[in-house]
Amino acid sequence: MTHLRRFGSSVVLVATAGAAWACGSADPAPASAPSCDGVELIVAASDYSSSVVCGAPGCELGELTTGADLGRDPQLASSNGRTFLLNRFDDLVFELDPRCGTPIARYSVHEQGGSNPHDLAVAPDGSLFVALYSVPHIVVMKGGKPDGPPIDLSGYDDQDRNPQAEAIRIVPVAGVAKAFVALQRLDDDDRLRSKRPSRMLRIDVATRVVEAEIELAGRNPFNTMAESGGAFFLAEPGNFDSDADALAGIERFESATSTTRLLVAERDLGGSVSEVAVTDGCGAAIVAGPKQDVNPTSLVTFDPTTGKVLSTAQAAVLGPTPGYDLQGLAWRGTSLFVGDRRSEGSGFRVHVFDRDPGTCILHEIPARAIDLPQRPVALRPAN
């Protein structure tokens, strides 16, 4: 399995939230302001029929926090102090209150045939650079509308002209804003398997011109990039039916120099890496085992500077689970939050771990666990 998507058959919580929005509107939706007291985490959860987005603990479901309109295939993105939910199935972007998780604006990035937005980054002028997966474009949004023609990526895949843009970050390089875009470059004729080198593009934000193409050390950058200490950390599973791909693991890309290396090999972690979260001196990753259509998951740790493996799937911090259950990973201060799609009776669990000072030793704090009304997909720290 190359690009994991789980489609379940659960009861839809609310039929739709679409009535609250005007298509393409950048105006705040009418809603009473919820309390943000105690909110630590912005959560996207879904049964792949409808979705929930909320602040946790204390997710309060309502017309604007749950429903089909929020997406059958959601993702979260945070950039430049702003937070967004991407409805990949319906080509929608919701801006969220970064303190509470409440949607405050809604934009369409639809193109003919479907766009499938996978990530976005906010430029210094507030414009949104949205990476589209199903078409070879970075669309730039300003004031809720496209701002000029999209950035064309078709020349970076000589097989089918769509290099599958998976993740994007905007950071300053020598004081100048640059967008970095990770391209998977999968084989469309063979179940989207990773067979060719993946790429990173560096785009000048002001001119919107691609100025460098860098071959990545690993294959199949998956999910969003983690950012810490001037570096991007990429989860690179290669192909999910193997846990010993030579060109898979965790990659560290230096934004200042556009140099890169495979920091940790997947064979040393004991599974294909699906998500990475990094804080100073401590990296955490979710890895999946190679059994097709099962892919048991584990939480592992590593040193983000040296690449030393600190725990593996064989001696995991959490797991292995029976299937692809761990999903959603985020640091907030010294706390690590890990989503779990297995039912706990009272809901679906977000595990909370605290870190020993100055180390990457994690201890689960059961009393701080968060129960969600739907299965977690993505987590981001609340501002």
User: Is the model more confident about 28 or about 13?
Assistant: 28
Question: Could you tell me what percentage of the chain is helix, strand and coil, using 3-state DSSP and rounding each to the nearest 5?
Answer: 5, 45, 50
Choice among 20-24, 90-94, 217-221 with the minimum mean pLDDT: 20-24
- In the chain, the percentage of residues whose pLDDT exceeds 90 is 82
**pLDDT at residue 13 is higher than 60:** no
**DSSP character string of 224-278:** EEEEETTEEEEEE-S-TT-S--TT-EEEEEETTTTEEEEEEEHHHHTSEEEEEEE
**pLDDT at residue 249 is higher than 70:** yes
Residue 286 near residue 274 (C-beta atoms within 8 A): yes
Query: What is the average pLDDT value for the chain, to the nearest integer?
Result: 91
**pLDDT at residue 28 is higher than 50:** no
User: Is the model more confident about 128 or about 190?
Assistant: 128
**pLDDT at residue 32 is higher than 70:** no
CA distance linking residue 279 with residue 183, whole number of Å: 24
From the list 238, 193, 201, the residue with the least C-alpha distance to 218 is 238
Distance of CA 318 to the CA centre of its chain: 20
pLDDT category, 25, cuts 50, 70, 90? low
Report the pLDDT value the prediction gives residue 187, as an integer from 0 to 100: 87
Report the pLDDT value the prediction gives residue 329, as an integer from 0 to 100: 98
Across 70-86, average pLDDT? 96
Report the pLDDT value the prediction gives residue 31, as an integer from 0 to 100: 46
Q: How many CA atoms lie within 13 A of 146 on its CB side?
A: 12
CA distance linking residue 141 with residue 111, whole number of Å: 13
From the list 90, 115, 92, the residue with the least C-alpha distance to 103 is 92
Choice among 68-72, 239-243, 282-286 with the minimum mean pLDDT: 68-72
Across 107-123, average pLDDT? 96
pLDDT category, 43, cuts 50, 70, 90? very high
Report the pLDDT value the prediction gives residue 36, as an integer from 0 to 100: 86
Return the structure tokens found at 248: 């898979």
Residue 272 near residue 241 (C-beta atoms within 8 A): no
Report the pLDDT value the prediction gives residue 34, as an integer from 0 to 100: 57
pLDDT tens per residue, range 170-198: 999 999 999 999 999 998 878 788 889 99
Across 283-307, average pLDDT? 96
CA distance linking residue 238 with residue 215, whole number of Å: 15
DSSP state of 318: B
Report the pLDDT value the prediction gives residue 27, as an integer from 0 to 100: 45
Residue 308 one-letter amino acid: K
Return the structure tokens found at 147: 């701002």
**pLDDT at residue 8 is higher than 70:** no
Q: Report the 10 Å Cβ neighbour count for 342.
A: 12
pLDDT tens per residue, range 203-218: 999 999 999 999 999 9
CA distance linking residue 92 with residue 235, whole number of Å: 25
Q: Which domains does the chain have, with CATH numbers?
A: 111-215 (2.40.10.500)
Return the structure tokens found at 201: 């593009």
